[in-house]
Amino acid sequence: MESLSKALTKKATFKGFSVWLVGGTPLITHAWSEKAKREMLAKQVKATKPGREQRDPQQDFVNSLYEMGDGSYGFPATGVKNCILSAAHKDKGIARSSVMAALWINADMVRTRPALAGAICDMPLVRIYGGDPEMREDMVKVGAGLNKKASLAYRAQFTVWGMRITGRFNADVLTAEQLAFLIDEAGMASGLGEWRNERKGMFGAFHLASADEEDAWERFAAGTGDLPVPASYRQAAE
């Protein structure tokens, strides 16, 4: 009985971590707009379909942003975790299911406006640091199968960006070195946001910050330093 008691009180070894993800290519965000969610709900409840509203590219751009409620913008923490998980595989000795259970990412719970009045929709967001978001225009195909039609999409782009990611990991399952490897590999192989490498694009790539980069981004986040603009970005960022 005594040995069983000791076994039951044994706890997992959780360790905290704090890292900076530094963008290598621009980040494109595409949040679900309140209008799109209302239209989806109306279709599901078979409500009368309203007439088509006039397109407003500026509003499309604003709707694509994940607002934090304090004037800053964020990105879904679930998207960051899924990106890291995409680099895990049992053949690498780091099974995806093990990483999923062993990794926790901290986030701010931000309440977004739902389609249905009275419902709630809390979204875990990680803050994006960088320059102001800009409106970008892209040619896209909308629809399904042979009914796809060419259209223009207006979404937000963060040209120079970084994210401070904090959380915990189960050191009995995942080592700090393995976590660093997964983050770096995921930043290139998958990426974040729209048109990332995983989706046949080149956007949203990132890497784990070096000591110098981490110091520069910490100073920028604290308001004591300039935006750390990489040499390859300077023309686009000006």
- What residue spans define the domains of the chain? 13-210
- For position 1, what pLDDT does the model report? 46
Per the CB < 8 A criterion, the answer to whether 159 and 236 are in contact is yes
pLDDT single digits (tens) 23-66? 999 999 998 765 665 556 566 666 655 556 677 899 999 999 99
Long-range contacts of the stretch 217-226 (C-beta < 8 A, 24+): 217/20, 217/22, 217/129, 217/162, 217/164, 218/20, 220/129, 220/162, 221/129, 221/164
Residues 222, 223, 224, 229: is their CA dihedral positive or negative? Answer: positive
How big is the CA angle at 193 (ends 109 and 79), to the nearest 5 degrees? 40
CA-closest candidate to residue 232, choices 174, 160, 184, 155: 160
pLDDT single digits (tens) 82-92? 999 999 999 98
How far is it, in rounded angstroms, from Cα 154 to Cα 165? Answer: 28
Read off the pLDDT of each residue in 123-146 and give the average, rounded to a whole number: 90
Per the CB < 8 A criterion, the answer to whether 104 and 112 are in contact is no
- For position 147, what pLDDT does the model report? 78
- Residue 91 burial (CB count, 10 A): 6
How far is it, in rounded angstroms, from Cα 156 to Cα 178? Answer: 32
* 203 or 115, which is more confident: 203
Rg (CA), the chain: 21
**Whole-structure pTM value:** 0.86
Region for residue 143 given its phi and psi (left: phi exceeds 0; alpha: psi -120 to 50; beta: otherwise): left
- For position 27, what pLDDT does the model report? 98
Read off the pLDDT of each residue in 152-172 and give the average, rounded to a whole number: 96
Region for residue 118 given its phi and psi (left: phi exceeds 0; alpha: psi -120 to 50; beta: otherwise): left
Read off the pLDDT of each residue in 62-91 and give the average, rounded to a whole number: 96
Give the torsion through C-alpha atoms of 71, 232, 185, 138, to 10 deg: 60
- Residue 108 burial (CB count, 10 A): 16
Residue 113, pLDDT above cutoff 60: yes
If you count DSSP H runs as helices and E runs as strands, how many of each does the chain have, helices first? 8, 12
Share of the chain above pLDDT 90, in %: 67
In the chain, the N- to C-terminal Cα span, in Å, equals 69
Eight-class DSSP state of 198: G
